[in-house]
Chains A and B, each alone.
Chain A
Amino acid sequence: MGALFRPLIQARTWKQTLHLILDLPLGIAWFTFIVTGFSLGLGLIPLMFLGVAVAFATMQFVRVVSAIERARAGALLDAEIANPFVPLSDIDGRWQRLKAVLTDAALWKGVVYCIVMLPIGIFTFTMAITLWSIAFGGITFPFWGWNDNWVGDDGGPSGWGRAGILAGSFAVGVLFLIITPWAVRGLAAMCRGLIRGLLGADPNAQLRQRVSQLEVSKSASLDVAMAERTRIERDLHDGVQPRLVVAAMDLGLARERIESGGDTAEVSALIDRAQGETKQAIAELRELVRGIQPAVLTDRGLDAALSSLAARCPVPVTVHVNLDERPPAQVESAAYFIVAEALNNVAKHSEARHARVSVGRDDRTLRVEISDDGVGGARVEPGGGLSGLGDRVRAIEGEIRIASPVGGPTTILAELPCGS
């Protein structure tokens, strides 16, 4: 017996009821907004740009509606619904964005939702209010039905007749108390389905988006690897190799001078030069290896490696590394090279007097920030240092933001996912 009435004390019954009641005011709001927005947009079409702008803004607001409704479903219907939208910030160019908005199926489904929510809201609101009214009205009727207020002019039934009606309405109230929670549950399931279908992410679209993200990161990885190989090849070819050739040549000459009984001073000078070139070659190799994977990073982690980078930078750099544990190796490496590249730019172009590097981790993201007090105006150019930096970040599916107004200061923020 108690089991029949248990839904009455379950929180979800009342959360779902609240959801159904909210359907109407929100349905009215969304409908009004979408109809007004599009009518205004169409009406303003003669003023070309303004009309397009209003329609565009209306479409944009659908994202907000979607977020509110998904949050409402999460709070009241216990439904986790994934965001179906691609962030606009990922898209370059105004026309590209407009095109992306107009062809975004998720947005158009959102528009449909705004429109159908009005009739559906009217229906669910009415159902919820009516069913609960009958239930509570019925069971409470015996307590307030003894007066004559509900009786017509003819005096109505009296005595046992009236008692029968009261008892009957009580019974109906009890019945509705039992069935209303189930009806609410059904209506809520319908709303959930509607929100999931029209505002949730399409699993296929999610997969497609993931594939395109991976394509971007893969091509960025290849670009980084290619640029690395080219740099190593160039450094070896232009630096180390000619130095060793010269050293070998000088040593050969020195032997010849000795064999022909030449001047000791001249021989000594040749050997001296050979030794100098060899030492220079060793130093260049050391720098080259550091550029591939610095030992101190592998052995001691970011703090030690970044301190060493900072010490090498001609501009004074303060380093703050706040990490409880070491991030995965590829993330550490990316962070290191981002800082290396950024400090390189600081030294070359910024005219800064001071730079600051800070590294911290929140949850699953490693945040690397490099800022300086220089002249700013840093731009991402193909093949430039900053574009290489972007490739490094994209290769591990991170994000990078560069703020460098003319006149400074420059701030580079990289967010690198480190798994869980």
Chain B
Amino acid sequence: MRVVVLEDTVLLQEGLVRLLGGYGHETVAQLVTADGLIEAVEEHEPDLVIADVRLPPTFTDEGIQAAVALRTIRPSQPILILSQYVEERYASELLGGDASGLGYLLKERVADVKDFIDACIRVAEGGTVLDPEVVAQLLARRRREPLDMLTAREREVLSLMAEGRSNVGIARKLVISEGAVEKHISSVFAKLGLTATVTEHRRVLAVLEHLRAT
């Protein structure tokens, strides 16, 4: 996998490059501001862009803006946003259009090296990955609605699904059988009134759509 890394903290940027390299992924460009992002992407055509949110010069939401701008020019460019904070509002802005090939994670998720690399690959392959914190915020909003009818286990499965995991991934994470996962998912879909779809990211979108619909 060929990656462009946009991160203004040199320490963290070096760390990311090292981490990706350790799993055999090549960093083709390292940027510290959003300025040269589009040019770098046009030049290298990477499989994935990893971008921080707070960047010079204003240290507010340059990363989100750069991602949205990049996606208008290259709608299918996979981007993974890493942020010090995650907020549902940013997620909505980011995923406003086509959410395939987009990810939004807390920076500290990098610490779980294997999970992080998995997330990178899922986004690069066109999946959608959302941080559990964002999912929790979305779930919190709907607490009294049909989500109340979900069991604790079903809710866990829903969260993992929103993180873009496959049935196998969910089964491994929860240490249960794949069949059990399938059972939970169909139960969740039934309770939320969703029709089950095949592709992973569509599943996420269906869930998100439903959660946002309030």
Interface residues of A (CB under 8 A from B): 275, 278-279, 282-283, 286, 289-290, 294-296, 298-300, 304, 307-308, 310-313, 316
Interface check B140, CB cutoff 8 A: yes
5 smallest A-B Cβ distances: which pairs?
Answer: A304-B89, A311-B137, A311-B140, A282-B108, A296-B87
Chain A residue nearest in CB terms to B83 = A295
Interface check B189, CB cutoff 8 A: no
Indicate if the CB atoms of A308 and B137 lie closer than 8 Å: yes
Interface residues of B (CB under 8 A from A): 54, 60-61, 84-85, 87-90, 106, 108, 111, 136-138, 140-141, 143-144
The main secondary structure of chain A at its interface with chain B is helix
Task: Tell me which residues across on chain A come within 8 A of B87, comparing CB atoms.
Answer: 295-296, 300, 304, 308
Indicate if the CB atoms of B89 and A296 lie closer than 8 Å: yes
Interchain CA distance A304-B106 in the complex, whole Å: 18
Task: Tell me which residues across on chain B come within 8 A of A295, comparing CB atoms.
Answer: 54, 60, 84-85, 87
A-B contact pairs, 30 of them (CB 8 A): A278-B111, A279-B108, A279-B111, A286-B84, A286-B85, A286-B106, A286-B108, A289-B85, A290-B85, A294-B85, A295-B60, A295-B84, A295-B85, A295-B87, A296-B85, A296-B90, A299-B60, A300-B89, A307-B88, A307-B89, A307-B141, A308-B89, A308-B137, A311-B88, A311-B137, A311-B138, A311-B141, A312-B137, A312-B140, A316-B144
Task: Tell me which residues across on chain B come within 8 A of A300, comparing CB atoms.
Answer: 87, 89-90
Interchain CA distance A280-B25 in the complex, whole Å: 28
Chain A residue nearest in CB terms to B143 = A316
Interchain CA distance A308-B143 in the complex, whole Å: 14
Interchain CA distance A304-B64 in the complex, whole Å: 15
Interchain CA distance A279-B132 in the complex, whole Å: 15
Indicate if the CB atoms of A275 and B85 lie closer than 8 Å: no
Which of A283, A286, A290, A310: most chain B CB closer than 10 A? A286
Chain A residue nearest in CB terms to B84 = A286
Task: Tell me which residues across on chain B come within 8 A of A294, comparing CB atoms.
Answer: 85
Interchain CA distance A313-B137 in the complex, whole Å: 10
Task: Tell me which residues across on chain A come within 8 A of B85, comparing CB atoms.
Answer: 286, 289-290, 294-296
Interchain CA distance A326-B57 in the complex, whole Å: 22
Task: Tell me which residues across on chain A come within 8 A of B84, comparing CB atoms.
Answer: 286, 289, 295
Interchain CA distance A313-B87 in the complex, whole Å: 14
Interchain CA distance A312-B141 in the complex, whole Å: 9
Interchain CA distance A275-B85 in the complex, whole Å: 20
Indicate if the CB atoms of A299 and B61 lie closer than 8 Å: yes
Of the residues A283, A308, A313, contact of B88 by C-beta under 8 Å: A308
Indicate if the CB atoms of B111 and A275 lie closer than 8 Å: yes
Interchain CA distance A136-B181 in the complex, whole Å: 101
Task: Tell me which residues across on chain B come within 8 A of A290, comparing CB atoms.
Answer: 85
Chain B residue nearest in CB terms to A280 = B108
- Minimum C-beta distance from A220 to chain B (A): 29
Task: Tell me which residues across on chain A come within 8 A of B136, comparing CB atoms.
Answer: 311
Task: Tell me which residues across on chain B come within 8 A of A278, comparing CB atoms.
Answer: 111
Task: Tell me which residues across on chain A come within 8 A of B144, comparing CB atoms.
Answer: 316
Interchain CA distance A295-B138 in the complex, whole Å: 19
Task: Tell me which residues across on chain A come within 8 A of B143, comparing CB atoms.
Answer: 316
Task: Tell me which residues across on chain A come within 8 A of B88, comparing CB atoms.
Answer: 307-308, 311
